[in-house]
């Protein structure tokens, strides 16, 4: 994770100009400060691969306008998929207007004019992804933007984006890029299925394995997670799920993969240096009890959870274990920078 911009590093009298400059680095747009509050803005970025970056925007009230003149100056084919985490926001184009509530997704195509407004302290995660990386056309983005929620994978993508910043902020480059590839596939499916048409159904079928991996990671704490439940959640038979899983090249069954992901998630928790007890880590990762978890952990990694933590936890005398991976331009939702 990189701090791309922070007004706390700028003298107060220069913050408004610095904010305007930061928001126009990648694409022309105008920033207007709203209200009488002191100017505050911070942009943190996680690079997830070529044409794909995740931003966390935290800031005071402002408005962003990208008009026809700005579009004529530069219109990179990039879309902004935003998740409002705190505060109020409004996104308006010539064709539509949305007021995303906290926890909702919205999508804006940056190749046309728009207005973005946030009031009060706002915290917003924004996935900036090129149309090429997403594998969709400008027309698809524009058709899907106002009706994202009608996609059958909307809730899956919403949950994925909600945890993406925390999950990737400290990852090394290769796992981050692998996560980015899976994220791009999910976004493509979201847009195509929301826009409708045959391409949407094809994308839904092609992305099943990616969606299953994302679903498993999002539900690891659920002790009732099973292959049958996963198949039902994705409206396919267990037999079909096994067939798709095998064609994707997995040498472990879906049930075995769930256990593997739980163990690797537990290892990440232990290596993070957080003070949670072994029983709490076991529960957080979906194991029925601490003894069963400890037995499985030793079988997988050759050490008990306590021994692993002592040897690998950050600040405990050893390097943090590298997590095992399972599965660029400013925009309205991005707030610029």
pLDDT band at 332 (very low <50, low <70, confident <90, very high): very low
pLDDT band at 197 (very low <50, low <70, confident <90, very high): low
Q: Which helix (H) or strand (E) holds 294?
A: helix 290-301
Q: How far apart are CA 269 and CA 281, in angstroms?
A: 7
- Any residues with CB less than 8 A from the CB of 214 and at least 6 apart, and which? 156, 160, 182, 186, 327
Mean pLDDT of the chain, nearest integer: 81
pTM to 2 decimal places: 0.68
pLDDT at 56: 93
Domains in the chain, CATH or no CATH each: 2-151 (2.60.120.10), 254-312 (1.10.10.60)
Of 71, 63, 46, which is closest to residue 171 (Cα–Cα)?
A: 46
Q: How many CA atoms lie within 13 A of 272 on its CB side?
A: 17
Give the number of other CB atoms < 10 A from CB of residue 145.
Answer: 23
Q: How far apart are CA 168 and CA 301, in angstroms?
A: 23
Largest CA distance in the chain: 65
Q: How far apart are CA 33 and CA 39, in angstroms?
A: 8
Give the number of other CB atoms < 10 A from CB of residue 314.
Answer: 14
Which residues, in sequence order, are bridge partners of residue 65? 30, 115
Inter-axis angle of helices 173-195 and 208-218, nearest 10: 110
pLDDT at 54: 94
pLDDT at 108: 83
Percentage of the chain lying above the pLDDT 70 cut: 88
pLDDT score of 326 more than 50: no
> Is residue 249 classed exposed, middle or buried when 0-12, 13-18 and 19+ CB atoms within 10 A define those classes?
exposed
Q: Which helix (H) or strand (E) holds 122?
A: strand 114-130
Helices (H), 123-253: 131-134, 138-144, 154-168, 173-195, 198-206, 208-218, 227-233, 238-247
Tens of pLDDT, residues 228-281: 988 888 778 888 888 888 888 888 898 998 998 889 888 888 877 666 788 888
Give the number of other CB atoms < 10 A from CB of residue 112.
Answer: 16
Q: Which two tokens stand for residue 197?
A: 């048409």
Of 73-77, 111-115, 144-148, 263-267, the range with the lowest mean pLDDT is 73-77
Q: Which two tokens stand for residue 166?
A: 């925390």
pLDDT score of 321 more than 50: no
CA distance readout (Å), 134 to 106, 158, 174? 16, 16, 19
pLDDT at 91: 86
Most confident of the following: 17-21, 183-187, 195-199: 183-187
pLDDT score of 179 more than 80: yes
Average pLDDT over residues 93-107: 84
pLDDT score of 32 more than 60: yes
pLDDT at 37: 67
Contact (CB, 8 A) for 113 and 71: yes
pLDDT at 199: 61
pLDDT band at 36 (very low <50, low <70, confident <90, very high): low
Q: How far apart are CA 191 and CA 205, in angstroms?
A: 14
Judged by DSSP in three states, 207 sits in coil
Tens of pLDDT, residues 43-68: 899 999 888 899 998 988 888 888 88
Give the number of other CB atoms < 10 A from CB of residue 184.
Answer: 22
Q: Looking at per-residue confidence, does 321 or 309 come out higher?
A: 309
Q: How far apart are CA 110 and CA 138, in angstroms?
A: 10
Percentage of the chain lying above the pLDDT 90 cut: 9
pLDDT score of 153 more than 80: yes
Q: How far apart are CA 331 and CA 295, in angstroms?
A: 49
């Amino acid at each position: 994770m990189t701090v791309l911009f922070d007004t706390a590093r700028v003298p107060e009298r220069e913050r408004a100009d610095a904010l305007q400059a930061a928001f126009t680095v990648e694409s022309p747009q105008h920033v207007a400060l709203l209200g009488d509050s002191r100017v505050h803005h911070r942009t943190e970025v996680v690079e997830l691969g070529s044409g794909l970056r995740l931003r966390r925007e935290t800031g005071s009230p402002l408005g962003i306008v990208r008009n026809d003149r700005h579009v004529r100056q530069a219109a990179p084919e990039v879309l902004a998929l935003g998740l409002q985490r705190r505060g109020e926001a409004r996104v308006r184009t010539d064709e539509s207007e949305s007021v995303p509530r906290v926890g909702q997704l919205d999508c804006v195509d940056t190749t046309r004019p728009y207005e973005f407004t946030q009031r009060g302290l706002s915290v917003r995660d924004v996935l900036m992804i090129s149309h090429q990386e997403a594998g969709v056309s400008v027309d698809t983005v524009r058709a899907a933007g106002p009706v994202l929620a009608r996609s059958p994978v909307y809730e899956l993508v919403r949950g994925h984006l909600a945890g993406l910043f925390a999950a990737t902020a400290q990852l090394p480059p290769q796992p981050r890029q692998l996560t980015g590839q899976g994220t791009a596939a999910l976004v493509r499916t979201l847009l195509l299925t929301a826009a409708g048409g045959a391409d949407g159904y094809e994308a839904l079928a092609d992305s099943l394995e990616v969606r299953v991996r994302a679903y498993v990671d999002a539900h690891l704490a659920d002790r009732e997670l099973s292959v049958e439940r996963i198949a039902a959640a994705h409206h396919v038979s267990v037999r079909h799920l096994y067939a798709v899983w095998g064609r994707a090249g997995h040498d472990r069954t879906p049930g075995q993969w769930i256990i593997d992901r739980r163990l690797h998630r537990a290892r990440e928790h232990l290596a993070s240096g957080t003070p949670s007890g072994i029983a709490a880590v076991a529960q957080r990762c979906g194991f029925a009890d601490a003894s069963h978890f400890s037995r499985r952990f030793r079988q997988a990694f050759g050490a008990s959870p306590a021994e692993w933590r002592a040897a690998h936890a950050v600040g405990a005398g050893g390097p943090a274990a590298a997590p095992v991976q399972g599965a660029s331009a400013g925009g309205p939702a991005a707030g610029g920078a």
